[in-house]
């Protein structure tokens, strides 16, 4: 089963929740899908050799000798990634690699070559299989890297009963791609006006795909919590309520996972894991699968 | 009017809090929120001008005329985005109810009730979330069954009068093309700011633009034509790593950059590290804002007491930014 951890608002605690959940599970896959700002690896450091897979997209190359300057490619490109200055000229970062220009060229002057847009790292950290995507600086779209991470996560899903997807912030296409492939979505929400607003947007996204979801209230403080109020009024289950704690913030800042420092958080995340299994309505058969994997 | 863009790399470092405080401190009558898939600036700023909302169309998406489609699969085999698939109608309805991932297919099917659902058969269907609008499928379809139809992917919202302008937008859940929507937000800001009256102009030393987290398309789109970037950094392992990535993006442009640290006292070692980073990259350090829960809460609710350590530090950041924007040489 895949659990997507998302938030709408940045900095709500997606990586915090994902990493500590991963450390609380007997064995699992942790997949960092926040490829623009990947941080899970700062907490889950490699303990086994790191395999690095380059992610590339096919971008067109133009053979000037064959080109008849008909401009069919430039006219076809829906993204404005091609200009014609004596010969077709490509703006790499705008190209969506759809293959359209190659398809319409009447003389076969367009070929394709791979262009690297990022990497996917894979390694072990304790009993966690870590998959971490990283988009190259200057690229505009992280989608190809996210898709590669999700593909790897699906490949490892059969060997592990829990796959945690640490999603990008926001509610746009990149977060949607992760939500689409998840069995359960967990929205992490801050107790602020901003947090509640983005919680609602994230809830809309999850509802659009018809996924079951729950909320983790993070950095809770005494007093009003607009995010909690939203959960109660819209009937989203609150799976955990994690109080704000400066010690935890300091541990995070130093790159130390909180469950390793705080016994009370260890209990919180153990409970959260139970709640997740309950939300997914897992039967005992799935628990047996977990035991099998941890014996691996 | 000069433009100040606020970025952070990592999310949740305090971009909107700082942006709100800068709007208040500078007295500017022109500001915008470019974080179109998680906009929040409207929650903490006050504007009197009424809002004008306009539907925003992203790239047109492929649409299959099921009365012409023969289910040959030419489109599916050429689509690089996995956005068009041939489904057995009767079957895909059944599996849709069992498999949530097909929900968008189910919605589409429900909408196109004129299609020959009852008769079954194999037809192509478009996943309008995954479709990027390249038109390859339309080109390869031997039956001419595919056309491109406009897709509303969000809305732009402008509050504008001759006294003030606030430009923002909201992307529909799961939609792409946020870069284009960001560009529309900025266009609205520039157009409406040019219509401000003299008093409003005089009161506005610069326009404040709240940015997106990350380093991808919305950030790149928001960087166009700005005069200065203020990075709001968080003193943490994650915050540092993301600032390093952001600096590489911003460093490619000829734009002034300053950095301030928010919640600076939460981890002084990381704050020190950020200071060193600024020094190494020759970036002015605009200030260290201490963790001040009351300020963060007040600002997010649009309350300004201008009392306490947080406010004092933000004032210093404002002064640094003003100086840098005034400096023609820098």
DSSP output for A204-219:
HHHHHTT--EEEEEEE
The predicted model gives A104-127 an average pLDDT of: 96
Task: Count Cα atoms within 13 angstroms, Cβ side, for B5.
Answer: 28
> How many residues would you count in chain A?
296
Neighbouring residues of A41: CB distance < 8 A, sequence distance ≥ 6: A32, A121, A130, A132
- Phi-psi domain of B326 (left: phi exceeds 0; alpha: psi -120 through 50; beta: other): alpha
How far apart (Å, rounded) are the C-alpha atoms in residues B89 and B324?
Answer: 62
The residue ranking higher by pLDDT, B122 or A201, is: A201
Nearest CA in chain B to A34: B214
Inter-chain residue contact A172 with B176, CB threshold 8 Å: yes
Residues B252, B229: contact at Cβ < 8 Å?
A: no
The predicted model gives A75-80 an average pLDDT of: 95
* Strands, E assignment, B176-245: 207-210, 228-233
Query: How confident is residue B303, by pLDDT bands cut at 50, 70 and 90?
Result: confident
* Per-residue pLDDT tens over the stretch A164-202: 999 999 999 999 999 999 999 999 999 999 999 999 999
Chain A positions in Cβ-Cβ contact with residue B178 (cut-off 8 Å): 170, 172-173
Closest partner CB to B216 (pick from A98, A142, A221): A142
Closest partner CB to B176 (pick from A9, A10, A173): A173
- Looking at residue B89, its pLDDT comes to 65
Give A52-115 as a DSSP string.
EEEEEEEEEEE-TTT-----HHHHH-TT--EEESSSEEE-TTT-----HHHHH-TT--EEEEEE
CA atoms B312, B318, B319, B320: torsion sign? positive
Nearest CA in chain B to A181: B101
- Looking at residue A160, its pLDDT comes to 83
Closest partner CB to A78 (pick from B135, B176, B241): B135
How far apart (Å, rounded) are the C-alpha atoms in residues B32 and B210?
Answer: 6
Residues B126, B83: contact at Cβ < 8 Å?
A: yes
Q: Which of A181, A217, A132, A162 is nearest to A24 (CA)?
A: A162
A283/chain B closest Cα distance in angstroms: 18
B149/chain A closest Cα distance in angstroms: 13
Closest partner CB to A198 (pick from B40, B81, B235): B40
Inter-chain residue contact B174 with A208, CB threshold 8 Å: yes
Residues 42-61 of A with CB under 8 A from B: 42-43
Give B133-185 as a DSSP string.
---HHHHH-TT--EEEE--EEEEEEEEE-SS-EEEEEEEPTT---HHHHHHHH
Inter-chain residue contact A246 with B297, CB threshold 8 Å: no
Q: By three-state DSSP, how is residue A7 classified?
A: coil
Residues B325, B4: contact at Cβ < 8 Å?
A: yes
Q: What is the ipTM of this complex?
A: 0.87
Q: Which of A130, A108, A134 is nearest to A120 (CA)?
A: A134
- Looking at residue B263, its pLDDT comes to 94
Q: Which of B281, B277, B174, B251 is nearest to A204 (CA)?
A: B174
- Looking at residue B104, its pLDDT comes to 47
Which of A99-103, A156-160, B65-69, B303-307 comes out lowest in average pLDDT?
A: B303-307
Q: Which of A38, A43, A21 is nearest to A188 (CA)?
A: A21
The predicted model gives B128-149 an average pLDDT of: 93
Inter-chain residue contact A9 with B11, CB threshold 8 Å: yes
Nearest CA in chain B to A257: B237
How far apart (Å, rounded) are the C-alpha atoms in residues B330 and B326?
Answer: 9
When scoring B238, B241, B248 by the number of chain A Cβ atoms within 10 A, the one with the most, hence best to mutate, is B238
How far apart (Å, rounded) are the C-alpha atoms in residues B241 and A147?
Answer: 23
- Phi-psi domain of A80 (left: phi exceeds 0; alpha: psi -120 through 50; beta: other): left
Neighbouring residues of B233: CB distance < 8 A, sequence distance ≥ 6: B8, B9, B10, B13, B239, B240, B243, B259, B260, B261, B262, B274
Residues 256-295 of A with CB under 8 A from B: none
Which of A122-131, A267-276, B85-94, B272-281 comes out lowest in average pLDDT?
A: B85-94
Residues 148-177 of A with CB under 8 A from B: 168-176
* Strands, E assignment, chain A: 2-6, 28-32, 51-62, 82-84, 88-90, 110-125, 128-135, 163-166, 184-189, 213-220, 238-243
A296/chain B closest Cα distance in angstroms: 30
A91 lies within 8 A of chain B by CB = no
The predicted model gives B285-293 an average pLDDT of: 92
Inter-chain residue contact A180 with B101, CB threshold 8 Å: yes
Q: By three-state DSSP, how is residue A187 classified?
A: strand
pLDDT at B12 > cutoff 80: yes
How far apart (Å, rounded) are the C-alpha atoms in residues B166 and B313?
Answer: 25
Burial readout B1-33 (b: 16 or more C-beta within 10 A, e: otherwise):
bebbbbbbbbbbbbbbbbbbbbbbbbebbbbbb
Task: Count Cα atoms within 13 angstroms, Cβ side, for B315.
Answer: 10
Closest partner CB to B38 (pick from A9, A104, A210): A9
* Per-residue pLDDT tens over the stretch A138-166: 898 999 999 999 999 999 988 888 999 99
Inter-chain residue contact B11 with A192, CB threshold 8 Å: no
Chain B positions in Cβ-Cβ contact with residue A171 (cut-off 8 Å): 37-38, 171, 173-174
- Looking at residue B97, its pLDDT comes to 35
Q: Quote the tokens at residue B159.
A: 């509050």
pLDDT at B94 > cutoff 70: no
Inter-chain residue contact A173 with B133, CB threshold 8 Å: no
Give B264-298 as a DSSP string.
GGG-HHHHHHHHHHHHHTT--EEEEEPP-HHHHHH
Q: By three-state DSSP, how is residue A262 classified?
A: coil
Query: How confident is residue A130, by pLDDT bands cut at 50, 70 and 90?
Result: very high
A117/chain B closest Cα distance in angstroms: 12
Q: Which of A122, A114, A127, A112 is nearest to A161 (CA)?
A: A127
Give B45-90 as a DSSP string.
----SPEEEEEEE-S-EEEE-TTT-----HHHHH-TTS-EEEEEHH
Chain B positions in Cβ-Cβ contact with residue A36 (cut-off 8 Å): 213-216, 245
Q: Which of B102, B105, B130, B100 is nearest to B115 (CA)?
A: B105
Q: How far is CA B210 from CA B40, B112, B171, B216, B320, in A?
A: 9, 40, 15, 15, 18
Inter-chain residue contact A172 with B236, CB threshold 8 Å: no
Chain B positions in Cβ-Cβ contact with residue A211 (cut-off 8 Å): 100
Alpha-carbon dihedral angle through residues A141, A144, A146, A151, given to the nearest 10 degrees: 170
Residue B89 main-chain phi, psi, to 5 deg: -55, -55
Chain A positions in Cβ-Cβ contact with residue B132 (cut-off 8 Å): 96, 98
* Per-residue pLDDT tens over the stretch B259-285: 999 999 999 999 999 999 999 999 999
The predicted model gives B67-90 an average pLDDT of: 88
Nearest CA in chain A to B246: A137
Closest partner CB to A103 (pick from B35, B43, B136): B136
pLDDT at B306 > cutoff 90: no
* Per-residue pLDDT tens over the stretch B182-235: 999 999 999 999 999 999 999 999 999 999 999 999 999 999 999 999 999 999
């Amino acid at each position: 089963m895949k659990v997507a951890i998302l938030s709408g608002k940045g900095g709500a605690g997606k990586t915090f929740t994902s990493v500590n959940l991963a450390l609380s599970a007997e064995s699992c896959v942790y997949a960092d899908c926040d490829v623009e700002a990947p941080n899970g690896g700062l907490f889950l450091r490699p303990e086994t050799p790191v395999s690095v897979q380059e992610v590339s997209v096919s971008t067109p190359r133009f053979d000037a000798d064959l080109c008849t300057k008909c401009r069919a490619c430039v006219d076809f490109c829906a993204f404005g990634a091609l200009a014609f200055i004596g010969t077709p000229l490509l703006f790499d970062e705008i190209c969506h690699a759809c293959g359209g220009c190659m398809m319409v060229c009447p003389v076969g002057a367009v070929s394709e070559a791979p262009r690297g847009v990022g990497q996917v790292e894979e390694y072990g950290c304790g009993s966690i299989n870590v998959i971490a995507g990283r988009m190259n600086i200057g690229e505009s779209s992280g989608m190809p890297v996210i898709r590669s991470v999700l593909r790897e996560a699906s490949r490892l899903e059969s060997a592990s009963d829990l796959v945690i997807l640490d999603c990008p912030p926001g509610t746009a296409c990149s977060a949607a791609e992760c939500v689409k492939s998840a069995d359960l979505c967990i929205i992490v929400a801050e107790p602020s006006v901003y947090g509640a607003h983005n919680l609602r947007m994230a809830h809309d996204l999850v509802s659009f795909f018809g996924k079951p979801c729950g909320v983790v209230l993070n950095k809770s403080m005494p007093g009003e919590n607009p995010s909690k109020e939203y959960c109660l009024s819209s009937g989203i289950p609150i799976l955990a309520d994690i109080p704000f704690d400066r010690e935890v913030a300091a541990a995070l800042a130093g790159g130390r996972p909180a469950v390793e420092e705080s016994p009370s958080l260890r209990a919180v995340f153990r409970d959260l894991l139970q709640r997740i299994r309950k939300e997914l309505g897992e039967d005992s058969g799935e628990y047996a699968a977990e035991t099998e994997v941890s014996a691996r | 009017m000069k433009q100040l863009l606020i970025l952070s790399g990592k999310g949740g470092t305090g971009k909107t809090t700082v942006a709100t405080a800068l709007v208040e401190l500078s007295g500017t009558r022109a500001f915008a929120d470019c974080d179109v898939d998680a906009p929040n600036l409207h929650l903490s700023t006050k504007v009197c001008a009424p809002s004008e909302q306009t539907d925003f169309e992203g790239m047109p998406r492929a649409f299959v005329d099921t009365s012409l489609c023969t289910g040959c699969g030419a489109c599916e085999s050429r689509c690089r985005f996995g956005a068009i698939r041939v489904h057995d109608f009767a079957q895909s309805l059944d599996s849709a109810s069992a498999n949530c991932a097909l929900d968008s297919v189910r919605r589409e099917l429900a909408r196109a009730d004129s299609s020959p659902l009852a008769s079954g058969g194999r037809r192509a269907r478009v996943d309008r979330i995954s479709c990027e609008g390249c038109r390859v499928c339309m080109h390869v379809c031997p039956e001419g069954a595919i056309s491109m139809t406009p897709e509303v992917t969000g809305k732009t919202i402008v509050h504008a009068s001759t006294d003030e302008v606030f430009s923002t937008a909201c992307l529909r859940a799961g939609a792409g093309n946020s870069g284009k929507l960001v560009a529309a937000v900025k266009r609205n800001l520039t157009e409406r700011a040019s219509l401000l009256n003299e008093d409003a102009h005089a009161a506005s030393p610069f326009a404040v633009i709240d940015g997106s987290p990350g380093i991808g398309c919305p950030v790149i789109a928001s960087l166009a034509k700005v005069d200065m970037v203020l990075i709001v950094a968080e003193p943490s392992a994650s915050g540092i790593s993301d600032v390093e990535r952001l600096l590489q993006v911003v460093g490619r442009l000829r734009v002034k950059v300053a950095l301030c640290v928010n919640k600076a006292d939460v981890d002084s070692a990381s704050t020190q590290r950020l200071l060193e980073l600024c020094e190494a990259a020759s970036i002015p350090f605009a200030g260290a804002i201490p963790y001040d829960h009351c300020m963060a809460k007040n600002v997010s609710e649009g309350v300004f007491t201008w009392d306490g350590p947080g406010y004092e530090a933000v004032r210093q950041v404002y002064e640094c930014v003003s100086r840098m924007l005034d400096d023609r040489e820098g």
